[in-house]
Amino acid sequence: MKTLFKKKILIPVLALTIFFSTTAFQNDFFEIAKQIEIFTTLYKELNMNYVDETNPADLMDTAIKSMLKDLDPYTTFMNEQDVEAARINNTGDYTGIGARVKTLKDKLVIIEPYKDYPADKAGLKAGDEIIKIGNIDLATFKDDKGDLLKGTSGTRVEVTFKRQGKIQTATINRAEVEINAVPYFSMINEETGYIVLSQFNSKASSQTAYAVKDLKAQGAKNIILDLRDNPGGLLHEAVNVVNIFVPKNQLVVTTKSKVEKFNKTYYTQKEALDVEIPVIVLINGRSASASEIVAGTLQDLDRGVILGSRSFGKGLVQRPKQLTYGTQLKLTISRYYTPSGRCIQALDYWHRDEKGDAVRITQDNYHEFKTKNGRPVFDGGGVLPDEALDITKTSAITTAILQKDFIFNYATTYYYKHQTIKDIDNFKLSDSNFSDFKKYLKTNDFSFETETEKALTKALESAKKEGLDDNIQKDYNTLINNLKTSKIEGIDENKAQLTSLLTDEIVKRYVYREGVYDYYKTHNPEIERATEILSNPTTYSGFLTK
């Protein structure tokens, strides 16, 4: 038993030695040593003496995740699979079936097969539910289900899937998959080029620069850069994308940390591709991180007009720290600041409410900064566009519908009811289609709780404790019923946005993602407004000088 104990504490003791060799923890030496000793002895006693068999790895995984949970959601422990997923995200290259897949408890759902890649060639469609891979039933498989689809290029994988209630099988030949940071670019009209930048992997700046050059060669005198739904990625790629439109030696972003070596300033390193061409950047509530660096910097420098809705508001920077056995700690090391000096972090993870949720920084606590031309911009709530479009603002009811996959699932149902569409370029959902969608929501028991309902319920609970509920119960019931009516009406009030989201998802089923971008050029209200602004130089320059 003594030998076993030595093996068990060898790694913690070694960790202690490394831990205390770093400068950042010198001041708390005793407290850290004390807490790690407590944890080590507790961990040993649990493993050796608990009444039932324990899994040391599971216990440690729970301990680590629980410890990190009190910090921000971006500081995470990454096992070997997570590290590989991060590598794929940063490089855009991997070997697999070529599809975006969602992992559920008992299955994998195909969210989007990439055109001409293995899953697509094998006939898999969005909405297909993979229930078995080879002889492995996913309902009972406990490890990462997605790993079963990975393998060497050229190897085969047999999948059993459910489509509209029917069980089918397919053989997929794995291949190398390349995910482009710029999946699409094209001319919208004779003078305006359109570029979709979907993520900031290692190809982001080179592919964006190539697109700008190509479009200019086709006659583009204006550029629309679409960062909607772009979750971010590599910080230095954001700096390089800015550099396409901004001269050399321009400050782009500053990072500030309690650890001095993480305090850095990032400047453009090259000569710009074009410092004069008018640029409009499209953003929405799912544009985050590196997307916000690009949008915020171009706004601060009055180098482009920002259009759409307020961005996500992620002003934190992470860096992977190598641990043992191929694992990593993705650690929030600093906050970033745009050239005007603002940090656009929207949630305060260090001050939480009574439920432990991060507090959103309110408009009352925003601070004003100035752009290069003296225009006011603000921190604390993401990047606020120079012109906000109502259709792009995601309401609470739309968010709830999206989170429960009703848009995705309805599009799947619609596709199999309408196998062919003659003229996809002019596709339009009718009022009867929208009514059918509302029936679909009702049939599938769509419901959600608003913040107002939560507050009222909490108030009633407090009233019950104080013996005052008899006086307010009737009013409470009236308010709740009114809210329920308001939520039902909210679906109609958000008809334009819901119809747009449904249309995008449905069109993608027929012509893939590339076809959706083609469809955007003539049907998307944000692009229509951007084109309108760019067609009038006075209007465009007015945004940058007022």
By DSSP bridging, strand 93-96 and strand 316-322 are unpaired
CA distances to 385, 443, 472 from 314, rounded to whole Å, are: 15, 37, 41
Q: Is 435 a catalytic residue?
A: no
Residue 438 corresponds to which tokens in the numbers above? 């509302």
Question: pTM above 0.75?
Answer: yes
pLDDT tens digits for range 155-213: 999 999 999 999 999 999 999 999 899 999 999 999 999 999 999 999 999 999 999 99
- The stretches of 335-405 forming alpha helices (DSSP H) are 396-403
By DSSP bridging, strand 222-226 and strand 93-96 are unpaired
Give strand pairing partners of 376.
Answer: 370
pLDDT tens digits for range 445-486: 887 766 676 777 777 677 777 676 666 777 777 777 777 666
Q: Say whether pLDDT at 14 is over 50.
A: no
Catalytic residue among 120, 226, 300, 379: 300
By DSSP bridging, strand 328-337 and strand 316-322 are antiparallel
Average pLDDT value for residue range 241-248: 98
Cβ pair 181, 198 in contact under 8 A? yes
Closest C-alpha to 149, from 173, 121, 128: 173
Q: Is 504 a catalytic residue?
A: no
Q: Is 314 a catalytic residue?
A: yes
Residue 510 corresponds to which tokens in the numbers above? 């027929």
Length of the chain (residues): 546
Catalytic residue among 198, 287, 289, 291: 289
Measured CA to CA, the distance from residue 80 to residue 67 in angstroms comes to: 20
Q: Element (H or E) spanning 321, and its range?
A: strand 316-322
Catalytic residue among 314, 487, 508, 521: 314
pLDDT tens digits for range 272-321: 999 999 999 999 999 999 999 999 999 999 999 999 999 999 999 999 99
* Residues of the chain above pLDDT 90, percent: 63
Residue 37 corresponds to which tokens in the numbers above? 């000793």
**Maximum CA extent, the chain:** 82
Is pLDDT larger for residue 529 or for residue 391? 529
Residue 109: what pLDDT? 97
* Residues of the chain above pLDDT 70, percent: 91
Measured CA to CA, the distance from residue 381 to residue 536 in angstroms comes to: 30
Residue 92: what pLDDT? 74
